Chains A and B, each alone.
Chain A
Amino acid sequence: MRGTGLFHCVAAACLWAAPTSLFAASAAATASANIVVPITIINTSGLAFGDIQSGASAGTVTLEADGSRSATGGSLLVPGSSGALATFSVSGDPGATYSITLPDSATLADGSGNVMVVSGFTSAAGATGQLGADGTESLAVGATLQINAEQPVGTYSGTFQVTLDYN
């Protein structure tokens, strides 16, 4: 008899998981009330380093998180072109803080076998962001492009990922 009782018990537990179960009006209701809005991140614009002249020596072009662009080494910026930070729209629980996980590196390719590496990703918010009172926040990300000496002329593109999680 005891074994049969336990069997029924397991069956009832399974039913309990269904929202319509009479048994569900217990601690489970409190738990669902605590569910926060899931954090979401949507990419709204890409990272653009703009036009660059490659020289006889390697160089870098950095897009700072404040949007400024600078070059080092043998690489020269083309003043008429501008860079742009990647921007993301974050939404979630109002006022909540979240961790920002940036990639270590990404690779840009021209489709003809030539590549450049992007590293040094930074966000304007640092490693931790905070959602506004309306549950949204915008996030800007910059990085450093490494240009090889005599980098072949062309348009290079690639992708990178940004991950957020509640703290």
Chain B
Amino acid sequence: MKVSPRFACRILGGVVLVGLAGPVSAADTATANATATIITPIAIATDTDLAFGELAAGTGGTVTVDTAGARSVTGDVTLVSASSGAAAGFTVTGQDGYTYTITLPASATLSGPSGASMTVDGFTSNPNGTGTLAGGTQSVSVGATLNVGNNQTAGVYTGSFSVSVDYN
């Protein structure tokens, strides 16, 4: 069969137009940003230990060292004025401007001679609860209350406690 020129034209035209419909399946791509910030790890270092100083125990009571290092007593306990107390001092370092939570212990135990011990509780800090790392650092002072027993055995009592900090 002889194909007429006109018929051939239709075929060619169809091919061209199908080609125009090709972009139907075109994919599309989007670009997104991804970010992450590595900040300075938070750290805490001990500068000064907590000290209740020298005291005479009568029938017992408490000695409190506040966050400024000032001592006060309740009950029958007498401070030796020549001695001084000291708040514990810490330096917290981390990311400038970030806030953090300060976690204090509920209590600690000081051990003395012949198995004698005293309990320390009522820990307080300045700043209290939450600190801010202005310039990437902050000093934290910690005070507490020493519970002295009736005729508490004379001697040196020591113990340790931990203060934790973490970013908010």
Chain A residues within CB distance 8 Å of chain B: 5-6, 8-10, 12-14, 16-17, 23-24, 26-28, 31-32, 34-36, 38-43, 45-55, 61, 76, 78-81, 86, 88, 101, 106, 108, 116, 118, 141, 143, 145, 147, 151-166
Contact = CB atoms under 8 A, between A and B. Distances in A.
B12 interface: yes
A12 B29 CA distance: 38
B55 to A, nearest CB: 42
B12 A13 contact: yes
B39 A153 contact: yes
B13 A47 contact: no
A158 B13 contact: no
A50 B167 CA distance: 13
Given A43-B30, A46-B32, A80-B167, A153 B25 contact: no
A17 B5 contact: no
B106 interface: no
B115 interface: no
B1 interface: no
Contacts of B6: 9
Secondary structure call for the A interface: strand
B80 interface: no
Q: Could you say which of A31, A55, A145, A151 has the most chain B C-beta atoms within 10 Å of its C-beta?
A: A31
Nearest to A38: B26
A141 B36 contact: no
Interface of B: 5-6, 8-10, 12-14, 16-18, 20-21, 23-42, 95, 98-99, 166-168
A26 B14 contact: yes
B29 A31 contact: no
A14 B12 CA distance: 9
B35 A54 contact: no
B13 A13 contact: yes
Contacts of A50: 36-37
Q: Could you say which of B16, B36, B40, B99 has the most chain A C-beta atoms within 10 Å of its C-beta?
A: B36
A48 B35 contact: yes
A52 B34 contact: no
Nearest to A74: B41
A113 to B, nearest CB: 14
Contacts of B5: 5-6, 8-9
Given A24-B17, A80-B167, A151-B38, A88 B27 contact: no
Nearest to A114: B38
Contacts of B14: 26-28
Q: Which 6 A-B pairs have the closest CB atoms?
A: A28-B17, A46-B33, A16-B13, A165-B27, A13-B12, A49-B36
Contacts of A47: 32-35
A164 B31 CA distance: 12
A160 B9 contact: no
Contacts of A28: 13-14, 17-18, 20
B41 A41 contact: no
Contacts of B30: 41-43, 88, 161-162
Contacts of A156: 35-38
